[in-house]
Structure 1
Amino acid sequence: AADVHVLLQEYRQVSVEQSPVQALQRTAQMGHTMGIYLALAPATIKVTDRKGEAEFPDFYRSLDRRIEEPFMLASSADDRSIRVAVDVGTHVLDFTFAKKRLASSTTYIFILWMMGSSMLLVLIAGLFLRNQIRPIVQLARVAEQFGLGQNVQNFTPRGANEIRRAGRAFLIMAERIRRQVASRTEMLAGISHDLRTPLTRMQLEIEMGKIDDSTRTALVADIDDMRHMIDEYLDFARGDAAEPMEPVAIDALVKQLVEQYAKQGAAIMLTESLPTTLTVRPQAIRRALTNIIDNALRYGLRAHVNIEQTVGFTRIKVTDTGPGIAEADHETVFKPFTRLEPSRNTATGGVGLGLSIARDIAQNHGGDISLENIRDTDGKIIGLEVTLRLPREVQVAI
């Protein structure tokens, strides 16, 4: 519309001094450079005002704002060109140009360029964030692995400076913790030896001394109790981190343990289950199950063991027929040196570390232990169910 208006203005100025044909020739040269072709038509051709408005509404309104003379729009026979006929008084001035000029390609090119640039920037940002997030995820998995007591291997800090600093700080911290655990284990081994030596000497003196049998039996029992308590304390303090993780057939381990109790005359049953292999510390799991079963047999007289598979976890359930534990004490019993039985007599219970050790072992494997009372139809407690939950897959650092 602006080009047509410029050419029309040029034609008006030139036609004042020259003939219409001369003015047309001069203006046509100018229009040729714009891709617009001009021609003169006789004035007998009637220009119908507002013709073409419906076919080209936007173009028509743009011309109407610029041109005062009557004009009309029409498409060519091949529908490739547009004709603008302007009544200039003595004759009609025709402007013909390609229809594709109405649709500016610049807008579409700009839109495509913006879309392409945006997609490229999003792709670059995604790759950048992925490269930054991957070291963070790796560090998180290694920290989780270390928290479960597993050895951290093949971990090299990567990523941004801040992430590498965090990774190096984690490695330094992990090494300090390992040294502390090793020092504690060595110290406990020394304490164990130092404590057992006088106990053994006392037992020898009692056996060789001239005392009556009843006194000797009582003293030997006290020494055995002391030795048992020392072993419990040291087991709790030592933990299970020193034992390596390995694939273990849990169903076979549980079956073997139940058979050992049955051979000793314990009232215990096992519900057979499908073969299940987990990556665990076998001696630690055996110790945890032993503590749980000992409690079930001590307070419930009979025990039943079964293994269940759930999504992501293997559940080993030990059920007894004892008095159960009040819901308010379900977490209390896991505290070290806690016994619900008020006396400290080891004949009626241990030293209060059995469930603490069992939960510590379970959590070091990424699992846990939970308690649930069993009730009859009248709501009366008729037993306790202890569930040892272990993950079916071990998280491995990448």
Structure 2
Amino acid sequence: MNFRWLKLYLPRGLYGRAAMILILPVVTLQLVVSFVFIQRHFEDVTEQMTRTVSRELVLLIDTLAQSDKGGDMAGFMRLADSLEYTVVLGERPPQEDFRRWYDFSGLVVIRTLEQLVPSVRGVELPDNRKILVYAATAQGLATFEFDRLRVSATNPHQLLVNMVFFGGLMTLIAYVYLRNQLRPITRLAAAAEAFGRGRHVAYTPGGAIEVRSAGNAFLDMRARIERQIEQRTLMLSGVSHDLRTPLTRLKLGLSLLDHDDAEPLERDVEDMQRLLDEFLSFARGAHEGEPELTDPIQFVKSAVEDAARGGTNVTLGSVEGEGTIPLRVVGIKRALENLIGNGVRYGNAVRVSVRLSDKSLRIRVEDDGPGIPAEARSEAIKPFARLDPARNQNKGTGVGLGLSIAADVARAHGGVLRLGESEEMGGLCADIVIAR
């Protein structure tokens, strides 16, 4: 059988599921015990006690039938008093049996009396103290009044109350202990989620042995990744310095040559400089700087204005929302510049829009170029990917790192880069989506 629909009604959080695993068996056990208790106590015990009363009622009715009017009624009354019954003759029976709606044992009493005493014409159970039984006798209709405790056990609800109270108390105590065991897991999950979004959160392993092992493994993994990032940054700093120096000497030497002879070589050097900058930009990764609260609306407006002042045909589209969000400003700016640069390289116009909602930040860059086919979009975000057949190459070539850098920045913020087709401009639509 397919039980996938059941997942819609199950809690998604760890605390909710733990509470359900803890409470569900307790509630089920209480329901089973309650059912057995009601079945055995409220029905079997009540029926047995009512049978005894029924035999006494039959004896009283037979004794009353054998007594003549005004005859041995005194003997009958003495018998009734000895059996603790109050008998009244001549009253009218009720139109129907009466009990309180929650008096479940009263159902058993009425059913048993009517089965075992055929002359019964009605039964009333107005409260927990007395019972009124109306029966037809040789002396007319008689009302038999006796104590309710003769057919029902004393305070039978106490067991149910105690069971519910102590069951709830033990469940609460168990949940407190369970919460202490779950807290290290939630702390580990929070630290891992923060690290995935590029933030460093202080974390100390705790809890059970297995949780401590997972926490120590996470700390080792985080330390290795941070060391690799630091080593790569130091290495690239040296590479940048070592390569820029000979490029500067080449530019100086070419400046001394004739313009016609040096122009092609100068373009080659400029291409080398640009390619070196792109390689270094990609190698630095998206983890430059610490996240800081940033107004993404103002940030995008400023980036678009800077690009427009630089001669780029870029405009600001729709702007929605307000507020701040933790961002690595250097990485986001680099990703946005790469997306805008790709748009003007392969198209003529670029439009940037931003939307900040309660759940996410979306920065959209659209162009009027040829776009990227749907089947090639996953390949396009890979480093050094070249999609020449799908893109216009008339405005220079790149090294296939622009989209990869943007995707890396989005992942460093716990987000994603989505590629699609612009409905209004007809070219590529690139969305950087970051969860809040």
**Percent identity over paired residues:** 38
The verdict on how the C-alpha distance between 1:228 and 1:160 changes in structure 2, with shifts beyond 3 A counting, is same
The verdict on how the C-alpha distance between 1:81 and 1:240 changes in structure 2, with shifts beyond 3 A counting, is closer
Counterpart residue number, 1:382: 426
Range with bigger deviation, 114-123 or 138-147: 114-123
Counterpart among 201, 222, 238 of residue 152 in structure 1: 201
Counterpart among 341, 351, 354 of residue 307 in structure 1: 354
Q: How far apart, in 1, do the equivalents of 2:266 and 2:394 lie?
A: 14
Counterpart among 168, 176, 180 of residue 131 in structure 1: 180
The verdict on how the C-alpha distance between 1:152 and 1:346 changes in structure 2, with shifts beyond 3 A counting, is farther
Counterpart residue number, 2:229: 181
SS of residue paired to 1:151:
coil
Q: How far apart, in 1, do the equivalents of 2:434 and 2:367 lie?
A: 21
Q: CA deviation at 1:129?
A: 2.5
The verdict on how the C-alpha distance between 1:276 and 1:301 changes in structure 2, with shifts beyond 3 A counting, is farther
Q: CA deviation at 1:107?
A: 4.3
Counterpart residue number, 2:260: 214
Q: How far apart, in 1, do the equivalents of 2:83 and 2:151 lie?
A: 20
Counterpart residue number, 1:100: 149
SS of residue paired to 1:322:
coil
CA deviation map 1:43-74 (0-9, x unaligned): xxxxxxxxxxx99567769999xxxxxxxxx9
Q: How far apart, in 2, do the equivalents of 1:350 and 1:318 lie?
A: 18
Q: How far apart, in 1, do the equivalents of 2:131 and 2:382 lie?
A: 92
The verdict on how the C-alpha distance between 1:296 and 1:108 changes in structure 2, with shifts beyond 3 A counting, is same
The verdict on how the C-alpha distance between 1:347 and 1:82 changes in structure 2, with shifts beyond 3 A counting, is closer
1:280 equivalent to 2:324? Answer no
Q: CA deviation at 1:133?
A: 2.2
Q: CA deviation at 1:158?
A: 3.0
CA deviation map 1:2-41 (0-9, x unaligned): 8989xx9xxxxxxxxxxxxxxxxxxxxxxxxxxxx9579x
Q: How far apart, in 2, do the equivalents of 1:103 and 1:39 lie?
A: 17
Matches within 5 A, 1:300-379: 300-341=347-388, 348-374=396-422
Aligned residues between the structures: 329
Counterpart residue number, 2:15: none
For 2:428, give the aligned amino acid.
L
Q: How far apart, in 2, do the equivalents of 1:311 and 1:145 lie?
A: 18
CA contact under 8 A between 1:339 and 1:352: conserved in structure 2? yes
CA deviation map 1:327-386 (0-9, x unaligned): 11122211110121269x89622110001001110121122222222357xxxx832222
Q: How far apart, in 2, do the equivalents of 1:167 and 1:334 lie?
A: 32
Instruction: Please identify the structure whose Cα radius of gyration is greater.
Output: 1
CA contact under 8 A between 1:149 and 1:364: conserved in structure 2? yes
Range with bigger deviation, 252-261 or 199-208: 199-208
Q: CA deviation at 1:292?
A: 0.6
Structure 1: gaps spanning 5 or more residues: 9-36, 41-53, 65-73, 84-95, 394-398
SS of residue paired to 1:218:
helix
1:118 equivalent to 2:167? Answer yes
Q: How far apart, in 2, do the equivalents of 1:280 and 1:266 lie?
A: 25
For 2:188, give the aligned amino acid.
L
CA contact under 8 A between 2:410 and 2:434: conserved in structure 1? yes
SS of residue paired to 1:308:
strand
CA contact under 8 A between 1:318 and 1:385: conserved in structure 2? yes
SS of residue paired to 1:273:
strand
CA contact under 8 A between 2:198 and 2:414: conserved in structure 1? no
Q: CA deviation at 1:146?
A: 0.5
CA contact under 8 A between 2:348 and 2:367: conserved in structure 1? yes
The verdict on how the C-alpha distance between 1:205 and 1:176 changes in structure 2, with shifts beyond 3 A counting, is same
Counterpart residue number, 2:313: 267
The verdict on how the C-alpha distance between 1:38 and 1:340 changes in structure 2, with shifts beyond 3 A counting, is same
For 1:388, give the aligned amino acid.
I
CA contact under 8 A between 1:225 and 1:346: conserved in structure 2? no
SS of residue paired to 2:427:
strand
1:289 equivalent to 2:336? Answer yes
Range with bigger deviation, 132-141 or 142-151: 132-141
TM-score (norm 2): 0.64
CA deviation map 1:89-136 (0-9, x unaligned): xxxxxxx98531421137433333322232223222322332222221
Q: CA deviation at 1:148?
A: 1.3
For 1:181, give the aligned amino acid.
I
Q: How far apart, in 1, do the equivalents of 2:245 and 2:374 lie?
A: 43
CA contact under 8 A between 2:198 and 2:291: conserved in structure 1? no
CA deviation map 1:207-265 (0-9, x unaligned): 34xx4323322222212212221221122122121311112222222222222222233
Q: How far apart, in 2, do the equivalents of 1:176 and 1:80 lie?
A: 78
CA contact under 8 A between 1:337 and 1:352: conserved in structure 2? yes
Structure 2: gaps spanning 5 or more residues: 1-47, 57-80, 85-96, 99-108, 118-122, 133-144
For 2:351, give the aligned amino acid.
H
Q: How far apart, in 2, do the equivalents of 1:115 and 1:233 lie?
A: 68
Q: CA deviation at 1:276?
A: 4.5
Counterpart among 276, 279, 290 of residue 230 in structure 1: 276
The verdict on how the C-alpha distance between 1:264 and 1:59 changes in structure 2, with shifts beyond 3 A counting, is closer
Counterpart residue number, 2:289: 243
The verdict on how the C-alpha distance between 1:285 and 1:81 changes in structure 2, with shifts beyond 3 A counting, is closer
The verdict on how the C-alpha distance between 1:204 and 1:346 changes in structure 2, with shifts beyond 3 A counting, is farther
CA contact under 8 A between 1:301 and 1:320: conserved in structure 2? yes
Counterpart residue number, 1:25: none
